[in-house]
Structure 1
Amino acid sequence: MGLIWWILPALAGVVGLMLTFAGLGRLMKLRLAAGGLRFLFGVGFLGAAGIGTFAGLNLQTYKRLTYERPVAQVSFDQVAGEDNAYRVKVNLAEGDAVTCFVSDGSEEDCLLRGDEFSMGARIITFEPMANMLGYDSVYRLEYMEGRNSKRYNTATISEATTNGLALSQNPGLDVYALAREEGTRFGMDGTQFGSAVYAPMGDGLSYDVVLTQDALTLKPGNALTAQAMDRRD
């Protein structure tokens, strides 16, 4: 449906240019009536094409600038007999699942310890005009970790440990670094950065990790999580 807002103005623009040049040609041959009529119709079509283009851009702001897409679903099951230890399942939007391995190469459950988790990603964003033209922010998940929410104090600088797993590696050319240096030349807005979300871990809790045009955000993945997030707010 969105393509209509580009196809119709483009067709109107082509017709407008053809009529405008045809009209100018006849005017130069002193065929004033026929040339003037074609010229006026051509200008009218060009005006309609311009109005249609700006209307299409305006309408797309309601979709592209607020566009969201799923990144992953994260769910937790408490390990029996252990406090603050959870088996975590990470299902990526592409259909893959994050798998943990032991030293002999066999699969095992992914475990996180603590009372909350954090997931972080590298984000490359684009200018709003580029968003409207269909260029959406891109991401690469970096890590997921478990940690204790009260790991610092206000009196002194304190140390804290976390546990977690890497969600990607960086083979070949570092596109993120290249975007930071040269991105503004290609419609990127120069604010490439890391984005992270965090929330409590709990038995049966599930979260949907979503990417906006600017950053990661969290949504409840089930009714139990929705209730927990409401109590937290």
Structure 2
Amino acid sequence: MRLVKLIANLGYGSRKEIQTAIKHGWVTDRDGNTLKADAKTAHEDILFDDEPLDPAVGMVVLMNKPLGYTCSTKDQGKLVYDLLPDRFRVRKPALSTIGRLDKETSGALLFTDDGDLLHRVISPKADVPKIYEAELDRPLNGSEATLFASGEMMLENEHKPLKPAELEVLDDTHVRLTLHEGRYHQVRRMFAAAGNHVTALTRTHIGRLGLDGVSEGEWMLLDEDQLAKIFA
């Protein structure tokens, strides 16, 4: 791939803008040598304005999503993409969320431009667990763990029972719930069906990948070891 197309596809600018950047010497290798448009330099050795290029296709981002942000590129109001560099919006292939968190749910949210990886994470066959912590409006009645683990729980307007889920009680109104599927507003609907109401909800882990070191509203690129934790 020609250098101009490579950098443009990463969202750093139009092809014309990248050509101008190359002309002005803003694209170099790690030794500081100015690169020409036909350079054969390896992706990892290219600098744009003295900074390494973003990863090529296969990039995975972990965000600690704050409350009030929508997982969309088109909705009104605050969007999770507003928290990422502008160039991430125009990458080719596009950067997409892997699943979603609703506006009133915070925590671990993944993005990728790798369609195969996206489908691998969300596929029911992968059985990637998602762990949530929830604050409840009222104390537990004691039957929730058995109900959620039964594999027989039905949600309103659905015709297939939920997969067994594990409930850990942290205190009377604070729980940790591990799901093995991702239905619409599942945690909130499960507790509503059990006669309670979720007042705050955070996803803490996707697989074994947690949010250690990622503050609310911040994000990080995942390396191979971190990515492997999703499927561990």
What TM-score do you get using the length of structure 1 for normalisation? 0.24
Comparing both structures, which one devotes a greater share of its residues to helix?
A: 1
What TM-score do you get using the length of structure 2 for normalisation? 0.25
Comparing both structures, which one devotes a greater share of its residues to strand?
A: 1
Larger Cα Rg: Structure 1 or Structure 2? 1
